[in-house]
A and B are shown apart, each in its own frame.
Chain A
């Protein structure tokens, strides 16, 4: 009994998740390389511990990170956990940039310094802690958007300050900044354009499927099968028909339709987007309470009026959920377009894989992941707000 009474307050003082995070973080800090240094782009890296990179902040930085992991070990208020983890993440982001600059000999344009496994593991542990703090705070949609804006401002500020300029991925960016922005544009055009087209086509098709149950099975069946075709195959299969259309239909090539380029990727993403759009429209419309629809009929509304003024507005949150699914999926799938000459950030990912140049892969993958996250957070908040608006 005494032992149990003695143990329970101790157990209550420690946060179980904090124990995992602190163990992972301290292991990464003291036993894993913080940076990897390479004499040129493609040779294997030399590991550098955090104390071997003077610019990373030396022992004060290590002490600060140790204290942060120590704080996370204990059971504290969610806001304290979030604050500690965010501050540590910010410190880590600055330390990795300054550390990289400090180990680079001046004027050496061949050497490449990348973040090492220690940095990534600490970043992962701290991101988990921050996510845990956020999840426990149970923020509303507007507050979540505020956090998103704060994170974006911090990242843009670090990028603008030039702290990261000596990191390998940023070196890759500097040598192809024009191409980066061009491909980013293409990527956004592919992802958003295909979603836009899918909304314009999918919502009316969904309305037809809702009104005519006989059509529904056939349409959803066909769209379901489209989803099972692997993305690289669908992208590839569209090259030939697109080339034919570009060559044979007047005006098509003026619109940029050709076998190589954006057109096959755009059509493939559109095809993948249709199923979630159509099925969410149908589910949303079916979820409208019968009373609402009956009341509208009683007021003498025509079918079209009921659809436009009652059914669609009430189904909107579910349709918006469909848009969220499709947009996040498209931002990821548009990476594959890089494989078939369709452009987008995938170009850097696949070039990087081919050259085994990881920083180049990161230059393509990190913006794509960041955009998918951002889109998911914004649209999730939008879905929640629109549900509240209806309720």
Chain B
């Protein structure tokens, strides 16, 4: 376990160093270029592309979280019950939609640039979060629901104090899935002129410069691994805490 932690710290250190001072890594990438092509992408700074990439993913994932969790809460209340079968079906079918298709179809509505990428990532990111939130909210044990009802909690109190805290770790796993997919999909956004790290990769593909492709891919890959691990660590922390909370709740009821 300790080795894994050390490896992660090394990856993080290398990533930060590369983003801040990519020219320092030029000798490493030089063997991958031909005909004296530049080994490091310099048209736009890697730092600004990384920030823009992370920004797009963060905004899309945050918006997707708010809408997806809100909608999952709605369809699991008595008021929204009629929407439940359809929501399940749509969450299931929607995930078969290729992300590139979502992106390509967003362009005519929104034009080129960051807009269609943001919308495509948002739409695609909704589904894993919604599916997980739905699973978590409908999968709570009836005993917990009854206990909350029996202790005289109102619908709102049950939702905020019991259902959401217990569902939180599963919802987090959905957010993680969505964020990691978005990180990778955002690179395709550069085919429609979004400012993401995909720009570096596509510049490499167009000019036959493997060094560009590799550095763009490595930065996105490292970001994805670190964000994935960060979420996993946070999830296990939360699970431990809600696990404790759920036990407290049981003892207080009995």
Contacts and interface: CB of A to CB of B under 8 A. Distances in A.
A135 interface: yes
Interface string B67-99: 000000000000010110110111001001111
A331 B107 CA distance: 21
Nearest to B97: A369
B98 A132 contact: no
A248 B213 CA distance: 23
Contacts of B213: 233, 236-237
B97 A361 contact: no
Interface stretch (B125-133, B218-226, B242-250): B218-226
A16 interface: yes
Contacts, number: 135
A17 B228 contact: no
A291 B216 CA distance: 50
Interface stretch (A22-30, A155-163, A199-207, A348-356): A348-356
Contacts of A349: 100-101, 104
Contacts of A111: none
B98 A331 contact: yes
B107 A361 contact: yes
B interface majority secondary structure: helix
A132 B86 contact: yes
Contacts of B117: none
Say what secondary structure dominates the interface of chain A. Answer: helix
A281 to B, nearest CB: 21
Interface in A319-357: 328, 331-333, 335-336, 339-340, 346, 349-350, 352-353, 356
B191 interface: yes
Nearest to B209: A236
Contact of A332 (B101, B214, B216): B101
Contact of A350 (B98, B187, B191, B228): B191
A15 interface: yes
B54 interface: no
A16 B78 CA distance: 12
25 contacts: A131-B89, A131-B90, A134-B89, A136-B85, A225-B221, A228-B220, A228-B224, A229-B220, A229-B221, A230-B185, A230-B187, A236-B204, A236-B213, A236-B217, A237-B213, A328-B96, A331-B98, A335-B100, A336-B188, A353-B107, A361-B107, A364-B104, A369-B96, A369-B97, A375-B96
Interface of A: 15-17, 128, 131-132, 134-136, 225, 228-234, 236-237, 239-240, 328, 331-333, 335-336, 339-340, 346, 349-350, 352-353, 356, 358, 361-362, 364-365, 368-369, 372-373, 375-376
What are the 10 A-B residue pairs with the smallest beta carbon separation, nearest first?
A: A233-B217, A332-B98, A236-B213, A228-B224, A135-B85, A132-B86, A230-B187, A135-B89, A365-B101, A230-B184
Given A228-B221, A237-B217, 16 more contacts: A132-B85, A135-B88, A228-B184, A228-B225, A229-B220, A230-B184, A230-B185, A232-B198, A233-B187, A233-B217, A236-B217, A239-B210, A240-B32, A339-B205, A353-B107, A358-B108
Interface of B: 32, 80, 82-83, 85-86, 88-90, 93, 96-101, 104-105, 107-108, 180, 183-185, 187-188, 191-192, 198, 201-202, 204-205, 210, 213-214, 216-218, 220-221, 224-225, 228
